[in-house]
Amino acid sequence: MAAGRGATVIVAFLLLVVLQLAGATSAAALPVAINTWAFRKAAETAWRVLQLGGSELDAVERGCGQCEIDQCDGSVGYGGSPDESGETTLDAMIMDGNTMDVGAVADLRHIKNAIGVARKVMEYTKHTLLVGESASMFAVRMGFPYEDLTTQKSLSMYSKWLNQSCQPNYWKNVVPDSSKSCGPYKRPEKVTCKEEQTISQRSVHNHDTIGMIVIGESGTVASGTSTNGAAHKIPGRVGDSPIAGAGSYADSTAGGAAATGDGDIMMRFLPSYQAVEYMRMGTDPTVACQKVISRIQKYVPKFFGAVICANTTGSYGAACNKIPGFTQFHFMVSSPSLNQPTEQVVDCI
Q: Which residues are the active-site residues?
A: 209
Q: 263 a known binding residue?
A: yes
* HSE-CB for 310 with a 13 A CA cutoff: 34
Look at residues 213, 307, 298, 295 and name the one whose alpha carbon lies nearest to residue 262: 307
User: Is 73 known as a binding-site position?
Assistant: no
Count other Cβ atoms within 10 Å, centred on residue 130.
Answer: 23
Q: Is residue 262 a known part of a binding site?
A: yes
Residue type (1 letter), 293: I
> How distant is the alpha carbon of residue 198 from its chain centre?
24
Q: How far is residue 64 CA from its own chain's centroid?
A: 10
| 211 annotated as ligand-binding | no
Q: What value does the CA radius of gyration of the chain take, rounded to a whole number of Å?
A: 22
- What SS3 state is found at 308? strand
To the question of whether residue 240 is assigned a binding role by annotation, the answer is yes
- Pairing mode of beta strands 102-108, 129-131: parallel
Length of the chain: 349
Residue 54, annotated ligand binder?
A: no
Is 238 annotated to bind a ligand? Reply is: yes
Q: Is 314 annotated as a binding residue?
A: no
Alpha-carbon distances of 112 from 81, 90, 133, rounded to whole Å: 14, 8, 13
Binding residues for substrate: 237-240, 260-263
